[in-house]
Amino acid sequence: MSKHQKEITALKEHLGKHQLKCTRQRELILDAFLKQEHITAEAMYHQLAKKDPHLGLATIYRTLNLFCEAGLAQARHFGTQTQYDNVSHKGHHDHLICTDCGKIVEFENCDIERLQEEVAARNGFTIKTHRLELYGLCSRCRH
Amino acid sequence: MSKHQKEITALKEHLGKHQLKCTRQRELILDAFLKQEHITAEAMYHQLAKKDPHLGLATIYRTLNLFCEAGLAQARHFGTQTQYDNVSHKGHHDHLICTDCGKIVEFENCDIERLQEEVAARNGFTIKTHRLELYGLCSRCRH
DNA sequence: ATTGAAATTGATAAATCGTCTCAAAAAGAA
DNA sequence: TTCTTTTTGAGACGATTTATCAATTTCAAT
Protein backbone atom coordinates (compact mmCIF):
# COMPACT_ATOMS: atom_id res chain seq x y z
CA MET A 1 0.00 0.00 0.00
CA SER A 2 1.68 3.16 -1.22
CA LYS A 3 2.03 6.29 0.81
CA HIS A 4 0.54 8.17 -2.12
CA GLN A 5 -2.57 6.11 -2.66
CA LYS A 6 -4.75 9.19 -2.70
CA GLU A 7 -2.84 10.75 -5.57
CA ILE A 8 -2.66 7.51 -7.49
CA THR A 9 -6.42 7.24 -7.23
CA ALA A 10 -6.82 10.87 -8.30
CA LEU A 11 -4.75 10.25 -11.40
CA LYS A 12 -6.65 7.11 -12.32
CA GLU A 13 -9.87 8.98 -11.92
CA HIS A 14 -8.64 11.66 -14.29
CA LEU A 15 -7.47 9.03 -16.77
CA GLY A 16 -10.81 7.30 -16.67
CA LYS A 17 -12.74 10.49 -17.26
CA HIS A 18 -10.70 11.39 -20.31
CA GLN A 19 -10.33 8.05 -22.05
CA LEU A 20 -6.66 7.92 -21.20
CA LYS A 21 -4.78 4.81 -20.30
CA CYS A 22 -2.87 3.78 -17.27
CA THR A 23 0.60 2.92 -18.41
CA ARG A 24 3.74 1.68 -16.73
CA GLN A 25 5.48 4.96 -17.60
CA ARG A 26 2.77 7.10 -16.06
CA GLU A 27 2.88 5.13 -12.86
CA LEU A 28 6.64 5.28 -12.77
CA ILE A 29 6.72 9.02 -13.32
CA LEU A 30 3.95 9.67 -10.80
CA ASP A 31 5.75 7.65 -8.18
CA ALA A 32 8.93 9.65 -8.68
CA PHE A 33 7.11 12.95 -8.91
CA LEU A 34 5.25 12.57 -5.64
CA LYS A 35 8.53 12.25 -3.79
CA GLN A 36 9.55 15.74 -4.95
CA GLU A 37 8.54 19.23 -3.92
CA HIS A 38 9.28 20.42 -7.44
CA ILE A 39 11.32 19.16 -10.34
CA THR A 40 12.14 19.88 -13.96
CA ALA A 41 11.45 17.46 -16.77
CA GLU A 42 15.15 17.22 -17.47
CA ALA A 43 16.01 16.39 -13.87
CA MET A 44 13.37 13.73 -13.77
CA TYR A 45 14.68 12.32 -17.03
CA HIS A 46 18.11 11.77 -15.52
CA GLN A 47 16.71 10.53 -12.27
CA LEU A 48 14.55 7.90 -13.92
CA ALA A 49 17.21 6.82 -16.41
CA LYS A 50 18.41 4.36 -13.79
CA LYS A 51 15.05 2.68 -13.48
CA ASP A 52 14.17 2.78 -17.16
CA PRO A 53 16.95 3.80 -19.55
CA HIS A 54 14.54 3.91 -22.47
CA LEU A 55 12.06 6.31 -20.95
CA GLY A 56 11.90 9.24 -23.35
CA LEU A 57 12.13 12.89 -22.44
CA ALA A 58 9.02 13.63 -24.46
CA THR A 59 7.10 11.17 -22.36
CA ILE A 60 8.21 12.95 -19.22
CA TYR A 61 7.03 16.28 -20.57
CA ARG A 62 3.75 14.80 -21.71
CA THR A 63 3.18 13.12 -18.40
CA LEU A 64 4.07 16.11 -16.27
CA ASN A 65 1.69 18.21 -18.34
CA LEU A 66 -0.89 15.52 -17.81
CA PHE A 67 -0.36 15.83 -14.07
CA CYS A 68 -1.02 19.56 -14.40
CA GLU A 69 -4.31 18.85 -16.10
CA ALA A 70 -5.16 16.31 -13.44
CA GLY A 71 -4.45 18.92 -10.76
CA LEU A 72 -1.53 17.04 -9.24
CA ALA A 73 1.16 19.37 -10.53
CA GLN A 74 1.56 23.01 -11.37
CA ALA A 75 3.97 24.37 -13.95
CA ARG A 76 6.06 27.35 -13.03
CA HIS A 77 8.55 29.14 -15.25
CA PHE A 78 11.67 29.74 -13.23
CA GLY A 79 14.73 31.05 -15.00
CA THR A 80 14.77 29.44 -18.41
CA GLN A 81 13.22 26.18 -17.28
CA THR A 82 9.83 24.98 -16.23
CA GLN A 83 9.51 23.67 -12.72
CA TYR A 84 6.70 21.24 -12.04
CA ASP A 85 5.49 21.76 -8.49
CA ASN A 86 3.90 19.02 -6.49
CA VAL A 87 0.61 20.56 -5.40
CA SER A 88 -1.12 17.37 -4.35
CA HIS A 89 -0.52 18.13 -0.71
CA LYS A 90 -0.52 21.88 -0.45
CA GLY A 91 -2.83 24.07 -2.45
CA HIS A 92 -0.13 26.57 -3.28
CA HIS A 93 3.55 26.83 -3.50
CA ASP A 94 5.15 30.20 -2.81
CA HIS A 95 8.85 30.89 -2.62
CA LEU A 96 11.38 32.98 -0.80
CA ILE A 97 14.50 33.06 -2.92
CA CYS A 98 17.95 34.24 -1.89
CA THR A 99 19.47 36.09 -4.83
CA ASP A 100 22.94 35.46 -3.49
CA CYS A 101 23.17 31.75 -2.63
CA GLY A 102 20.04 30.54 -4.41
CA LYS A 103 18.45 29.10 -1.29
CA ILE A 104 14.71 28.55 -1.67
CA VAL A 105 12.28 28.54 1.24
CA GLU A 106 8.70 27.54 0.63
CA PHE A 107 5.84 29.11 2.49
CA GLU A 108 2.12 29.50 2.57
CA ASN A 109 0.09 32.43 3.82
CA CYS A 110 -3.66 32.39 3.95
CA ASP A 111 -3.98 36.11 4.53
CA ILE A 112 -2.09 36.90 1.37
CA GLU A 113 -4.23 34.48 -0.57
CA ARG A 114 -7.40 36.04 0.74
CA LEU A 115 -6.18 39.46 -0.38
CA GLN A 116 -5.33 38.05 -3.78
CA GLU A 117 -8.89 36.86 -4.15
CA GLU A 118 -10.09 40.34 -3.29
CA VAL A 119 -7.88 41.98 -5.86
CA ALA A 120 -9.00 39.50 -8.49
CA ALA A 121 -12.68 39.95 -7.69
CA ARG A 122 -12.31 43.72 -7.87
CA ASN A 123 -11.00 43.29 -11.41
CA GLY A 124 -13.55 40.74 -12.50
CA PHE A 125 -11.09 37.84 -12.49
CA THR A 126 -11.52 34.33 -11.21
CA ILE A 127 -8.18 33.01 -9.99
CA LYS A 128 -7.14 29.53 -10.93
CA THR A 129 -3.56 29.58 -9.72
CA HIS A 130 -0.99 32.08 -8.65
CA ARG A 131 2.69 32.52 -8.26
CA LEU A 132 4.43 34.56 -5.61
CA GLU A 133 8.16 34.84 -5.38
CA LEU A 134 10.02 37.04 -2.94
CA TYR A 135 13.60 37.82 -3.89
CA GLY A 136 16.14 38.98 -1.38
CA LEU A 137 18.95 37.95 0.91
CA CYS A 138 18.74 35.18 3.44
CA SER A 139 20.11 35.78 6.93
CA ARG A 140 23.44 34.19 6.11
CA CYS A 141 24.05 36.17 2.91
CA ARG A 142 23.07 39.49 4.42
CA HIS A 143 26.32 39.56 6.38
CA MET B 1 14.12 67.97 -21.40
CA SER B 2 12.80 64.47 -21.57
CA LYS B 3 10.02 63.20 -19.40
CA HIS B 4 12.29 60.33 -18.44
CA GLN B 5 15.35 62.28 -17.40
CA LYS B 6 15.59 60.40 -14.12
CA GLU B 7 15.80 57.03 -15.83
CA ILE B 8 18.24 58.28 -18.43
CA THR B 9 20.48 59.48 -15.64
CA ALA B 10 20.11 56.18 -13.83
CA LEU B 11 21.21 54.27 -16.90
CA LYS B 12 24.20 56.52 -17.51
CA GLU B 13 25.21 56.08 -13.93
CA HIS B 14 25.10 52.32 -14.34
CA LEU B 15 27.06 52.52 -17.58
CA GLY B 16 29.72 54.65 -15.95
CA LYS B 17 30.11 52.31 -13.01
CA HIS B 18 30.63 49.30 -15.25
CA GLN B 19 32.83 50.71 -17.98
CA LEU B 20 30.02 50.47 -20.46
CA LYS B 21 29.40 52.95 -23.20
CA CYS B 22 26.48 55.14 -24.04
CA THR B 23 25.47 54.30 -27.57
CA ARG B 24 22.86 55.56 -29.93
CA GLN B 25 21.14 52.17 -29.83
CA ARG B 26 20.96 52.09 -26.05
CA GLU B 27 19.41 55.54 -25.95
CA LEU B 28 16.96 54.61 -28.67
CA ILE B 29 15.89 51.44 -26.92
CA LEU B 30 15.64 53.12 -23.53
CA ASP B 31 13.47 55.83 -24.98
CA ALA B 32 11.09 53.29 -26.48
CA PHE B 33 11.16 51.06 -23.42
CA LEU B 34 10.17 53.79 -20.99
CA LYS B 35 6.99 54.41 -22.90
CA GLN B 36 5.85 50.84 -22.24
CA GLU B 37 4.48 49.08 -19.22
CA HIS B 38 5.99 45.84 -20.47
CA ILE B 39 7.20 44.56 -23.79
CA THR B 40 8.91 41.58 -25.39
CA ALA B 41 12.18 41.85 -27.27
CA GLU B 42 10.47 40.75 -30.44
CA ALA B 43 7.75 43.39 -30.15
CA MET B 44 10.31 46.08 -29.56
CA TYR B 45 12.28 44.84 -32.54
CA HIS B 46 9.34 45.38 -34.84
CA GLN B 47 8.40 48.64 -33.22
CA LEU B 48 11.87 50.11 -33.64
CA ALA B 49 12.35 48.81 -37.15
CA LYS B 50 10.70 52.00 -38.38
CA LYS B 51 13.20 54.24 -36.65
CA ASP B 52 16.26 52.11 -37.36
CA PRO B 53 15.79 49.23 -39.81
CA HIS B 54 19.28 47.94 -39.07
CA LEU B 55 18.86 47.61 -35.34
CA GLY B 56 19.53 43.95 -34.57
CA LEU B 57 17.39 41.69 -32.43
CA ALA B 58 20.43 40.61 -30.48
CA THR B 59 21.09 44.21 -29.54
CA ILE B 60 17.56 44.52 -28.21
CA TYR B 61 18.00 41.45 -26.06
CA ARG B 62 21.37 42.61 -24.83
CA THR B 63 20.05 46.03 -24.02
CA LEU B 64 16.91 44.87 -22.25
CA ASN B 65 19.04 42.57 -20.14
CA LEU B 66 21.28 45.52 -19.43
CA PHE B 67 18.23 47.45 -18.23
CA CYS B 68 17.47 44.60 -15.86
CA GLU B 69 20.95 44.82 -14.41
CA ALA B 70 20.57 48.56 -14.10
CA GLY B 71 17.33 48.09 -12.22
CA LEU B 72 15.16 49.76 -14.83
CA ALA B 73 13.52 46.58 -16.07
CA GLN B 74 12.51 43.22 -14.73
CA ALA B 75 12.28 40.08 -16.81
CA ARG B 76 9.24 37.90 -16.47
CA HIS B 77 8.70 34.62 -18.25
CA PHE B 78 5.18 34.34 -19.56
CA GLY B 79 4.29 31.42 -21.76
CA THR B 80 7.22 30.88 -24.07
CA GLN B 81 8.31 34.50 -24.13
CA THR B 82 10.06 36.88 -21.80
CA GLN B 83 8.28 40.09 -20.91
CA TYR B 84 10.45 42.98 -19.85
CA ASP B 85 8.56 45.04 -17.29
CA ASN B 86 9.18 48.73 -16.80
CA VAL B 87 9.83 49.06 -13.10
CA SER B 88 11.30 52.54 -13.16
CA HIS B 89 8.10 54.22 -12.06
CA LYS B 90 6.44 51.85 -9.70
CA GLY B 91 8.40 49.92 -7.17
CA HIS B 92 6.39 46.84 -7.86
CA HIS B 93 4.62 45.33 -10.72
CA ASP B 94 2.03 42.73 -9.98
CA HIS B 95 -0.15 41.10 -12.56
CA LEU B 96 -3.53 39.58 -13.06
CA ILE B 97 -3.25 37.41 -16.12
CA CYS B 98 -6.07 35.84 -18.08
CA THR B 99 -4.97 32.38 -19.11
CA ASP B 100 -7.47 32.38 -21.94
CA CYS B 101 -7.04 35.67 -23.82
CA GLY B 102 -3.73 36.77 -22.32
CA LYS B 103 -5.09 40.04 -20.98
CA ILE B 104 -2.88 41.56 -18.29
CA VAL B 105 -4.10 43.86 -15.55
CA GLU B 106 -1.58 45.51 -13.29
CA PHE B 107 -2.23 46.21 -9.67
CA GLU B 108 -0.63 47.16 -6.43
CA ASN B 109 -1.72 46.19 -2.96
CA CYS B 110 -0.03 47.55 0.14
CA ASP B 111 -1.60 45.01 2.45
CA ILE B 112 -0.18 42.13 0.46
CA GLU B 113 3.22 43.74 0.47
CA ARG B 114 3.14 44.24 4.19
CA LEU B 115 2.33 40.56 4.65
CA GLN B 116 5.16 39.63 2.34
CA GLU B 117 7.55 41.56 4.55
CA GLU B 118 6.25 39.67 7.54
CA VAL B 119 6.75 36.29 5.90
CA ALA B 120 10.26 37.27 4.84
CA ALA B 121 11.19 38.55 8.29
CA ARG B 122 9.90 35.37 9.88
CA ASN B 123 12.32 33.44 7.66
CA GLY B 124 15.25 35.77 8.15
CA PHE B 125 15.05 37.22 4.65
CA THR B 126 15.37 40.81 3.51
CA ILE B 127 13.26 41.35 0.40
CA LYS B 128 14.72 43.24 -2.51
CA THR B 129 12.03 42.62 -5.11
CA HIS B 130 9.10 40.35 -5.60
CA ARG B 131 6.89 38.94 -8.23
CA LEU B 132 3.22 38.19 -7.84
CA GLU B 133 1.14 36.83 -10.65
CA LEU B 134 -2.45 35.74 -10.41
CA TYR B 135 -3.64 33.45 -13.18
CA GLY B 136 -7.26 32.97 -14.01
CA LEU B 137 -10.08 34.02 -16.27
CA CYS B 138 -11.12 37.59 -16.89
CA SER B 139 -14.81 38.44 -16.82
CA ARG B 140 -15.15 38.16 -20.56
CA CYS B 141 -13.48 34.75 -20.87
CA ARG B 142 -15.36 33.22 -17.98
CA HIS B 143 -18.49 33.04 -20.11
C1' DA C 1 40.82 66.92 -33.88
C1' DT C 2 43.40 62.44 -33.93
C1' DT C 3 44.60 58.30 -32.13
C1' DG C 4 44.00 53.90 -30.14
C1' DA C 5 42.25 50.66 -26.79
C1' DA C 6 38.05 48.81 -25.34
C1' DA C 7 33.26 48.14 -25.88
C1' DT C 8 29.40 47.52 -29.02
C1' DT C 9 27.00 46.26 -32.97
C1' DG C 10 24.66 43.42 -36.60
C1' DA C 11 24.21 39.14 -38.86
C1' DT C 12 23.84 34.76 -38.17
C1' DA C 13 25.18 30.39 -36.05
C1' DA C 14 24.29 27.82 -32.16
C1' DA C 15 22.15 26.47 -27.95
C1' DT C 16 18.16 25.67 -25.21
C1' DC C 17 13.78 24.11 -24.11
C1' DG C 18 9.69 22.14 -25.15
C1' DT C 19 6.38 20.20 -28.62
C1' DC C 20 5.25 17.58 -32.78
C1' DT C 21 5.49 13.53 -35.84
C1' DC C 22 4.92 8.88 -36.75
C1' DA C 23 5.73 4.04 -36.85
C1' DA C 24 5.81 0.54 -33.40
C1' DA C 25 4.11 -1.00 -29.02
C1' DA C 26 0.89 -1.32 -25.28
C1' DA C 27 -3.61 -0.92 -23.05
C1' DG C 28 -7.98 -2.49 -22.35
C1' DA C 29 -12.76 -3.51 -23.87
C1' DA C 30 -15.26 -6.89 -26.46
C1' DT D 1 -7.44 -13.52 -28.55
C1' DT D 2 -8.75 -9.64 -31.34
C1' DC D 3 -9.38 -5.03 -32.46
C1' DT D 4 -9.48 -0.22 -31.70
C1' DT D 5 -7.50 3.49 -29.42
C1' DT D 6 -3.97 5.49 -26.91
C1' DT D 7 0.79 5.82 -25.79
C1' DT D 8 5.50 5.52 -26.44
C1' DG D 9 10.34 6.56 -27.96
C1' DA D 10 13.35 8.71 -31.03
C1' DG D 11 14.41 12.32 -33.30
C1' DA D 12 12.87 16.25 -36.15
C1' DC D 13 11.18 20.60 -35.53
C1' DG D 14 9.91 25.35 -33.85
C1' DA D 15 10.41 29.24 -30.96
C1' DT D 16 13.15 31.97 -28.14
C1' DT D 17 17.41 33.54 -26.50
C1' DT D 18 22.46 33.65 -26.37
C1' DA D 19 27.20 33.21 -28.43
C1' DT D 20 30.45 34.32 -32.03
C1' DC D 21 33.18 37.48 -34.48
C1' DA D 22 34.62 40.88 -37.80
C1' DA D 23 33.51 45.61 -38.48
C1' DT D 24 32.17 49.76 -36.27
C1' DT D 25 31.63 53.06 -32.60
C1' DT D 26 32.69 55.20 -28.27
C1' DC D 27 35.52 57.97 -25.53
C1' DA D 28 39.65 58.99 -22.95
C1' DA D 29 44.21 60.37 -23.81
C1' DT D 30 46.81 62.69 -26.54
By the 8 A CB rule, do A89 and A33 touch? no
Long-range contacts of A50-59 (CB under 8 A, 24+ apart): A52/A25, A52/A28, A55/A25, A55/A28, A55/A29, A59/A25, A59/A29
pLDDT score of B1: 58
Write down the architecture of domain B94-136 according to CATH. 2-Layer Sandwich (3.30)
Residues of chain A with CATH 3.30.1490.190: 94-136
Cβ of A96 and B142 within 8 Å? no
Cβ of A116 and B134 within 8 Å? yes
DSSP state at residue B16: H
Q: Which residues of B touch A109 (CB under 8 A)?
A: 115, 119
The answer to whether strand C lies under 7 Å from the CB of residue B69 is: no
Average pLDDT over every residue of B120-130: 91
B contact test, residue of A110, A125, A129 with most B CBs within 10 A = A125
pLDDT score of B128: 82
Distance from CA of A51 to the nearest CA of B (A): 31
Cβ of B115 and A116 within 8 Å? no
Query: What's the distance, Cα to Cα, between the start and end of chain B in Å?
Result: 48
Residues of chain A with CATH 1.10.10.10: 5-86
pLDDT tens-digit series, residues A79-123: 788 999 888 766 567 889 887 677 888 898 999 999 999 999 999
Q: Among the CATH numbers 2.40.50.460, 1.10.10.10, 3.40.50.2300, 1.20.1110.10, which is that of A5-86?
A: 1.10.10.10
Average pLDDT over every residue of B100-105: 76
Q: How far is the CA of B127 from the C1' of D20 (A)?
A: 37
Average pLDDT over every residue of B62-83: 91
pLDDT tens-digit series, residues B2-55: 678 899 999 999 999 999 999 999 999 999 999 998 999 999 999 999 999 999
